[in-house]
Amino acid sequence: MDSCKSATTPWVDGTVLKKCEKQCKDIDAMRYQSLIGGLMYLAVISRPDIAHVVSKLSQFNNHPHEEHFKAAKHVLRYLKQSSAAKITYSSTGENLVCYTDSDWAGDVSDRKSCSGYVIFMSDGLVSWESKKQSIVALSTMEAEYIALCQGAKDVVFLRTLLREMGYDGYVNEPTNMHCDNQSAQFLLKHPMVHKRSKRIDLRFHYVRELFEKGEIEVHFVNSDANAADIMTKFLKKLKHKNGCKLLKLTM
């Protein structure tokens, strides 16, 4: 891959990966898993812009095929083009800020959704995740509500860590969380039984408890300004570039 052509996005537009149901060309699973392991290390440590792609590709570790390996190598082409990308921080003293997002039924195999969140502190990323949800969400509201809960759990961990380290000034006020779904925010702030929400698993109402305790505040953000959008979707060139800008990645 040293002499490969560079790519402007980590994903080829229009590519749909799924488990092979017919005749497919198998590849060496160890070779594929080794590549995905390296990409996952980068995605976790310093490259949130590839987190969603790597999360998708890792779902085929047990039985990879040629198209999966080709998509993984495309990520390497993107990394070659953006090898100088890095997370930067500044001494702004800015408190924790969290953005959450989800797609809905984005997995073509089992129709499960993907949750994504990013957390900033001092104008730089300190935590992020892109992960398939454990249940099938029955609406976009439910998928976004679950994503809110996933982000809130990490916010609580970071608030506890800061408190134990003696930085109480960062946790005296509620942590601001941003979501681009108004229905999920309404469900959070106005508890009620509704035909669209009565089937939501009780464990996801943990985020409502945090809101009532004053640990978090939830605000609406437009999708174009949602920094977590890149964690749940494959974006085209211009939107991907804007997503990296929202992540405060210096290219």
Regarding pTM above 0.75, the answer is yes
87-250: CATH class:
alpha beta
Distance CA 47, CA 86 (A): 7
- φ, ψ of residue 169 to 5 degrees: the values are -60, -20
Q: 15 vs 136, which has greater pLDDT?
A: 136
3-state secondary structure of 124: strand
- What is the average per-residue pLDDT within 119-134? 93
- The answer to whether residue 2 scores a pLDDT higher than 80 is no
Cβ count within 10 A of residue 125: 18
pLDDT (0 to 100) of residue 21: 65
- The answer to whether residue 24 scores a pLDDT higher than 90 is no
pLDDT (0 to 100) of residue 120: 95
Vertex 74: Cα angle to 72 and 77 (nearest 5):
125
Position of tokens 């990645």?
A: 249
- What is the average per-residue pLDDT within 187-216? 77
- The answer to whether residue 251 scores a pLDDT higher than 60 is yes
3-state secondary structure of 77: helix
pLDDT (0 to 100) of residue 197: 58
Cβ 74 vs Cβ 34: under 8 Å = no
- What is the average per-residue pLDDT within 70-85? 94
pLDDT (0 to 100) of residue 199: 62
Position of tokens 């390497």?
A: 76
Cβ 221 vs Cβ 180: under 8 Å = yes
pLDDT (0 to 100) of residue 205: 82
Domain locations in the chain as residue ranges = 1-83, 87-250
Q: 196 vs 212, which has greater pLDDT?
A: 212
Confidence of residue 1 (pLDDT cuts 50, 70, 90): low
pLDDT (0 to 100) of residue 138: 85
pLDDT (0 to 100) of residue 85: 93
- 150-170 burial, b if ≥16 CB within 10 A, otherwise e? bbbebbbebbeebeeeeeeeb
- 249 contact partners, CB below 8 Å, separation of at least 6: 48, 49, 85, 86, 87
- What is the average per-residue pLDDT within 117-127? 93
- What is the average per-residue pLDDT within 74-93? 89
Arithmetic mean of pLDDT over the chain: 89
Largest CA distance in the chain: 59
3-state secondary structure of 108: coil
Distance CA 38, CA 30 (A): 12
- The answer to whether residue 243 scores a pLDDT higher than 70 is yes
Q: What would the pLDDT profile of 133-182 be if each residue is shown by its tens digit?
A: 988 988 898 899 999 999 999 999 999 999 999 988 888 899 999 999 99
pLDDT (0 to 100) of residue 195: 52
Q: What would the pLDDT profile of 213-233 be if each residue is shown by its tens digit?
A: 999 999 999 999 999 999 999
The DSSP code for 65 is B
